[in-house]
Each structure stands twice: as structure tokens, then as C-alpha cells.
Structure 1
Amino acid sequence: MSSDKLLVVIDPSRDEQPALARAAHLARCAGTRLTLFLSIFDFSYEMTSMLSQEERDAMRNGVVMQRQKWLEQLAEPLKAEGIDVDFEVVWHNRPFESIINHVLNNDIAYIIKSTHAHDKLKSVIFTPTDWHLLRKAPVPVLLVKENDWPAKGNILAAVNVAADDEDHKELNERIVSKAVSLASLIDATVHLVNGYPGTPVNIAIELPDFDAHAYNKSIKQHHQARIAELAARHDIDEAHCHVLEGLPEDVIPDLARELNAELVMLGTVGRSGLSAALIGNTAEHVIDSLECDLVAFKPANFVCPLAD
């Protein structure tokens, strides 16, 4: 991670900045460069009909300059430590688009943003910035909660070892590789988790002689063999591989709590339209159930919908 640049999304509505604190921790460990990013918009500046366009632009630029100075103040302690910090303040009415546009036009490795619990109904109707980033950002997104990363903590990497297609295999390898790399920097232990489906109820009902126990055992053994192979390629102790029956959105938060994990790493897919609103994906389902940070990776062939 030493050559990676981190884009830190600043939240102007709060005094504490968990995302900045997390990014600073990573910068201290790996020597990364930070870009503090702030997207602002005030509709009242666009609706002041008594002012000319030049006057509105001047007022807007004044607000941008004020926020730029605020970012510089936030960065002063970091610069005093020798951390390289850049700044970017943009006027945009859709924060997620401004963030992604900056990523597309700059050499950014990770987006780091603080998060909080979302209202489930509102999340369906008015998709939060977090969900937009999980679906559309072309780089990994680290969503930060307010817990600290303890020394010698645990990183939980969620994988899908049942998939045979190359995209899923590549994504599994990248998630685990990034988990191992980060663990070496922050002195953490990597655990792998894979959820597998139990016996379909309709089969058990329709086939009285069907041995559900044997079926479940066979499925679990298959997943255990696959995850052990993945772990071996990355020098992860097989004792740290967890194959659990259940849906990923249930299995991952439960194990994260059991391990007191500081971070969950998983893959996500981009969706748009009705499927995004009503279905979502694993990352979106687990984010509010986690008490720790989450980082989501896209498949290698992901195409950002905002890219030209």
C-alpha cells in the first residue's frame, strides 16, 4: 500500500472525522498520501435571482475557499507528523458523483468514508451516498465506523469459494491478498469466512428418503476443501478458515462479532435501476449489521457507470 493514494471523504456535519483518523493510521503505517475531499452544495446560492451569475459565482467561490481553509486546519497535525496531504473542495449537488469523478481523474487506490446506520425504508427510496459508492465506485471503498483498530486485531475476509467462474476466483484472490497485505501493516490476523446454503426445504419435503444430514455434510466438506486451498496459497492458518451454514448477510456479521473483528473485507457488484433499489447486494445488507469497518472490492472487469 506504500504507493497508494487514499481519498478521504470529509463530513462537514460532524466535529469528529473517523474516516480521517483511519486514513491517518494507514498513512503512518504505510507512508500513503492522503487527499482530503469535501463535496458541498447549497441550493440557495443557485436560486438567488436578484444576483448576477458573476455574483453567485463569487459567493460560491467564497464558500469553497472557507471550506478549503477548514480542511487545511484539519490537516495541520498530520502534516506536522510528516504525512503528505492534498485538498479538494468541489461544488456539486450529488456527492457520490463528485467523489467518483475525482477518482476517475486521479490516481486513487481507496475511498475512505465514515458511515452510520441507515433508515431501511429511506435507503430504498433515497439511496445514501454509501450505497451509491458501493455500487458504482471503481476502486475499493472503506466505510469507517467509530471503533478503533486494536493492536493484534482480526481482519475477516469474506469469500465465495463455491463459484467456479474466473471473475469470482480473481475477486477471492484479490480480497485475501489485500487482507494479508493490510494485516502485515497493522499487526492483525486474517480470518476467512464462507457461507453455504443448507438443504433446500422443498427437497426434504418432496423426497422423504433424502438424507439432508449427508447432503449438508457433503456441501460443507466441499466448501472446506476450497477455502483451505485458498488459505494455503496465502499462508493463512487453516484454523482461521470458517465455513458456516447460512446466508452471507447473516454469517458475516455474526462471525465478525464473535471474532471482535476490526474490519470485514468482501466483494460487491454494481447494480442500477430497480434491482439496485429492491435487491441490493451482500455489502449493502451487512453494512448496518456490522459493528466494525467494511471494505468492499469490485470485480476486475467492473465498468464504472460514470466513466466516459
Structure 2
Amino acid sequence: MKRFKNILCVLESEEDCHPILERAITLAETNQAILTIVTVVPHITVDFNLFKDDPDIDLQTIMENEKKEKLDSLVKSFLHKIKIETRTLSGVPFLEIIYDVLRNGHDLVIKMPEIADWLDHLFGSNDMHLLRKCPCPVWLIKPDSPKSYHNILAAVDLDSDDAEQLEASQKALNLQILQMASSLAVNDFSQLHVVHVWDAPAESLMHSPFIKMTKEEIDDYANRVKDQQEEKLNTFLHDAIDSQVGNMLDYLKPNIHLIKGLASQSIPQLAKKIEADIIVMGTVARTGIPGFIMGNTAETILNQIHCSVLAIKPPEFITPVKLEE
């Protein structure tokens, strides 16, 4: 994987947590990184008159201490490999996690998705808040995720705006997506897939009876757009080969998918078709509009997939969450 120095692993349940623990510990060991494992305890809101016979009782502290003991017990068998810090956080889960990232400079958050059988999608409310607002990459690992991934899907977006700064930012984000997906594929001996979804926006308008265009003219337009998109993808991959990703791409020989359609539909469909174990993707819109934290396309994709995800922000992303002074 990309070199990480300060990893935060979040455990919400002691059940089925060993896959994520092993993944976090192996990653920290490989990167010689600091590893912190936390759990978030919600604030207890009860009528303390129930405990009037023992006014000194502090349920919040008791619960936090119990959680800390369980964390220490969980990591005990791994302490011969690496030094691990454990602690409990208290409050709204996604906020406390982001606060911890801001306070301690974590450069990766690893956690399992929220366990909620009633959801028709994998990621719950706290997960989505993290994907929108956490300043560092967020890796959400399914509880039943295989120990080693077989198929990794890197989703890149090559349709940049005209603004030069935004175009440079998007290129940097795409390269980071490809780098992380490639290094994970090398580590896990996985098949890497790279997908770019494109659309010919004027094609549907050309079919209007008010616009007299022949089928050949419409097809010619669509083919020209496809050629432009293919050239964009080839240029991106060529630039990636010239960067630090190059050796990994030569070794991996990724499957390239250039798909016509809507990314919000095509990427989940492709993930299902290739049985992707994880999607590596960006989650922030490229519009630059203040407060527009996640693009609609990314949100729609995340609500449809049922595999793990490694979500990455552009280099200049600033979280709207602020530490209290």
C-alpha cells in the first residue's frame, strides 16, 4: 500500500473484528506506522435519580473503562508484533473519529461499516459522514471480506472542468486512487481493474425530431467522443507509468474498462460483474462549491455497492469539521 505513518483503526463491535484488526496490524507493521485502535462510546442519557442510593456512580466512566479493557484484551495477542495504543472516545461516532484525526494527524482511518441489518445498503449514517468529511482516506472493510482481495476496482474520473487548478487537483486525485489500488493489488496478489465511465451528453438531444440529424451523424458524434475519452484514459495511464506507479502497473497488467453510460449506474454494475472485493474511488465533488462535500455520483455509487471501499479526498480538501477551541 501507499506508505502510511499514523493509522487509526476504529472498532464498533468485538464480534467479527479480527479481519480488520489483522489488516490494520499488517499494514502498520509493513509501513512501520503508529497504530491506534479506538472504540466510540455514546454519551449515556439516563435518569440518574435511578441511582440515588449511590450518587457517586458514573455510568459513562464505567462503560468507557469496560470498552477499554475489551480493546486491550483484543490486541494483547498482537503486541509481540507491533506497539499498539488503545483508547475510548465518547460522543457522536463520526465526529469523534474526525476530531481524533485532526488532533493526532492520522493519515488513514480503517473501520468496518456500521452493523445495521435493516439497511438496504452497506454503509450507515456515520460511515457516510466519514466518507464525506474525514480529511484523510477512509477504508471501510466488510466483516466477511476475504483475508486477501481477489479483484480490486479503481474508479477514475477524467472529465475535468476547464479551470486549470481543478484539473490539476483531479489528476492528482486520480493518480492517488491508482497508486493505492495498485499497491494494494501487489500486496494481495490481486487482479487490478481500472474503470472510466464516459457519456456523450448531446446524443440524446440529437435524437429529437426537432433536430434533423441522421443516425450516421449521431453515431459519428458518439464515436468521436469515445475516441476523445479513450485518448484521455491512455494519456492518464501513460502519465501514471512515468510516475512512481509505473513499475506496479507493468507488473499487474490491469484490466481497463472504458464504459459508456452513467458512472452512478455503470460502476456498481461493473463491481458486481467482476465480483470486486473493494472499490478505490474519490468521494468529493470537483465543483469547488463550498459545502458541497460529496458529489451526487459518488453518493449514489456508495449507496449501491456491497463491497469494501477505500475512499480518497483531493489533496486540497479541508474538512468542515472543526476542533472546539
Bin the TM-score by the shorter chain: 0.7 to 0.9
Distance of 2:59 and 2:302 partners within structure 1: 38
Change (3 A) 1:79 1:230: same
Deviation at residue 3 of structure 1 after TM alignment: 4.4
- Name 1:229's counterpart in structure 2: 235
1:297 alignment partner, one of 309, 312, 315: 312
- Name 1:195's counterpart in structure 2: 197
CA-atom RMSD in angstroms = 3.2
- Name 1:90's counterpart in structure 2: 89
Aligned pairs for 1:154-303 (under 5 A) are 154-164=151-161, 165-199=167-201, 200-205=203-208, 206-209=210-213, 211-232=217-238, 233-234=240-241, 235=246, 236=249, 240-269=255-284, 281-303=296-318
Deviation at residue 78 of structure 1 after TM alignment: 2.0
Question: 2:206, 2:213 within 8 Å by CA — same for their partners in 1?
Answer: no
Distance of 2:224 and 2:87 partners within structure 1: 54
Question: 1:30, 1:185 within 8 Å by CA — same for their partners in 2?
Answer: no
Distance of 1:55 and 1:272 partners within structure 2: 50
- Name 1:128's counterpart in structure 2: 125
Distance of 1:246 and 1:55 partners within structure 2: 63
Change (3 A) 1:214 1:85: same
Aligned-partner SS, 1:183: helix
The one-letter code of the counterpart of 2:207 is A
- Name 1:59's counterpart in structure 2: 59
Aligned-partner SS, 2:59: helix
Question: 2:44, 2:60 within 8 Å by CA — same for their partners in 1?
Answer: no
Write 1 or 2 for the structure with the bigger share of helix: 1
Deviation at residue 37 of structure 1 after TM alignment: 1.2
Aligned-partner SS, 1:304: coil
Aligned-partner SS, 1:89: strand
Aligned pairs for 1:73-88 (under 5 A) are 73-80=73-80, 82-88=81-87
- Name 1:104's counterpart in structure 2: 102
Please, which runs of 5 or more residues in structure 2 have no aligned partner? Answer: 162-166
Change (3 A) 1:24 1:166: same
Distance of 1:189 and 1:22 partners within structure 2: 19
Distance of 1:296 and 1:2 partners within structure 2: 16
Aligned-partner SS, 2:85: strand
The one-letter code of the counterpart of 2:316 is N
Distance of 1:302 and 1:274 partners within structure 2: 11
Aligned-partner SS, 1:7: strand
Query: What's the TM-score once normalised by structure 2's chain length?
Result: 0.79
Please, which runs of 5 or more residues in structure 1 have no aligned partner? Answer: none
What is the total number of aligned residue pairs between the two structures?
296
Deviant stretches of 4+, over 6 Å:
270-276
Distance of 1:301 and 1:275 partners within structure 2: 14
Question: 1:29, 1:186 within 8 Å by CA — same for their partners in 2?
Answer: no
Identity %: 26
Aligned-partner SS, 2:322: coil
Distance of 2:218 and 2:289 partners within structure 1: 37
Distance of 2:211 and 2:83 partners within structure 1: 65
Question: 1:38, 1:88 within 8 Å by CA — same for their partners in 2?
Answer: yes
Superimposed CA distance per residue, residues 190-238 of structure 1 (whole angstroms, 9 cap, x where no aligned partner): 3211111245423321323152222221112111111112222233367
